[in-house]
């Protein structure tokens, strides 16, 4: 499979000497605030997701991370601030508009078409296929068949990449929780995603399949150039996959760095997590 073409989003971050250096940001959250009545869920929060990274987002319950994740994904509109995606202001755009722009999201509970096979689920993803229009079926059948063959080949490539060949003709509703998560990951590979938002990818997945899932995320990042933004409760998974890890508390970003540094920061652990083990 071809690597994703890089976009143009440019931001800046500080190095160890405090100097500003160029930083290629796919997602740039700028001073975002969201209130629900008298509750400020996200409070003037700014953060970036670098192109080619697997960036984790963690924090205690009520930290605002889920709200921020939903704002980035287009499910919630912020009261103030901007969401920049690949250099463009996408604040307030709906999820389907972000999908067309190259931002894809997987969910804690997989959203498969249960009465279609795993292969058919993947073939459903690419939009605006000629076969979707009756006029093409009637008057341009060759074009419709050619595109369907192309999509099917890509779907089979994805299934091979994820090692799901043994269930490709199985109804998606019959798959295990882990297989459904792998299938959902595969659906992100059917379009040219600039970033994939992973929402609690470990939920409902047994440890064996979770290792497969993590390995495939790493391969997609390393071999295909995918960028991931991950919200997750499983700190071992975050530690394996993510660098950097961003920590939120009380609606704000309070720390960012490798997981080893986050775990070693006693002030963060004691003040925001209440024990030596970081909990999301």
Give me the domains of the chain, ranges plus CATH numbers.
11-112+195-201+226-273 (3.40.50.300)
Percentage of the chain lying above the pLDDT 90 cut? 56
Give the pLDDT of residue 2.
Answer: 35
Look at residue 16 and give its three-state secondary structure: coil
Look at residue 186 and give its three-state secondary structure: helix
Give the pLDDT band (50/70/90) at residue 50: very high
Per-residue model confidence as pLDDT tens digits over 146-185: 768 889 999 999 999 999 999 999 999 999 888 998 998 9
Q: In DSSP terms, which residues pair with 11 in a beta bridge?
A: 23
Q: Are 243 and 53 in contact (CB under 8 A)?
A: yes
Return the sign of the alpha-carbon dihedral for residues 140, 128, 52, 56: negative
CB-CB neighbours of 21 under 10 Å: 9
The answer on pLDDT for 192 being more than 60 is yes
What CA–CA distance (Å, rounded) separates 8 from 25?
8
The answer on pLDDT for 137 being more than 50 is no
Give the pLDDT of residue 3.
Answer: 31
Per-residue model confidence as pLDDT tens digits over 113-130: 889 999 999 998 875 544
The answer on pLDDT for 131 being more than 50 is no
Of 2 and 30, the one with more pLDDT: 30
Of 125 and 28, the one with more pLDDT: 28
Give the pLDDT band (50/70/90) at residue 215: very high
Q: What are phi and psi of 23, to 5 degrees?
A: -140, 120
Walk across the sheet containing 228-231 and list its strands. 103-106, 195-199, 228-231, 54-58, 245-249, 252-257
pTM of this prediction exceeds 0.75: yes
């Amino acid at each position: 499979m071809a690597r994703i073409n890089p976009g143009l989003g440019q931001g800046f971050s500080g190095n160890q000497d405090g100097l500003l250096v160029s930083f290629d940001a796919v997602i740039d959250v700028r001073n975002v605030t969201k209130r629900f009545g008298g509750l400020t869920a996200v409070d003037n929060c700014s953060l970036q997701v670098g192109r080619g990274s697997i960036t984790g987002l963690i924090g205690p319950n009520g930290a605002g991370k889920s709200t921020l994740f939903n704002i980035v994904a287009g499910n919630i509109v912020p009261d103030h601030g901007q969401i920049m995606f690949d250099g463009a202001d996408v604040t307030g755009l709906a999820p389907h508009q972000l999908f067309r722009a190259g931002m894809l999201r997987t969910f804690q509970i997989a959203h498969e078409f249960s009465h279609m096979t795993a292969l058919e689920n993947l073939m459903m993803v690419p939009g605006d296929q000629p076969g979707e229009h009756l006029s093409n079926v009637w008057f341009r059948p060759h074009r419709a068949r050619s595109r369907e063959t192309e999509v099917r080949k890509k779907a089979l490539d994805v299934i091979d990449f994820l090692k799901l060949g043994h269930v490709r003709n199985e109804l998606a509703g019959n798959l295990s929780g882990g297989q459904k998560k792998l299938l959902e990951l595969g659906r992100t590979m059917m379009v040219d995603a600039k970033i994939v938002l992973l929402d609690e990818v470990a939920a409902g997945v047994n440890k064996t399949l979770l290792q497969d899932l993590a390995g495939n995320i790493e391969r997609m990042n390393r071999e295909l150039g995918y960028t991931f933004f991950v919200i997750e409760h499983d700190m071992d998974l975050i530690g394996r996959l993510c660098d950097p890890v961003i920590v939120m508390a009380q609606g704000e970003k309070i720390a960012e760095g490798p997981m080893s540094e986050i775990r070693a920061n006693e002030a963060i652990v004691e003040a925001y997590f209440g024990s030596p083990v970081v909990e999301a």
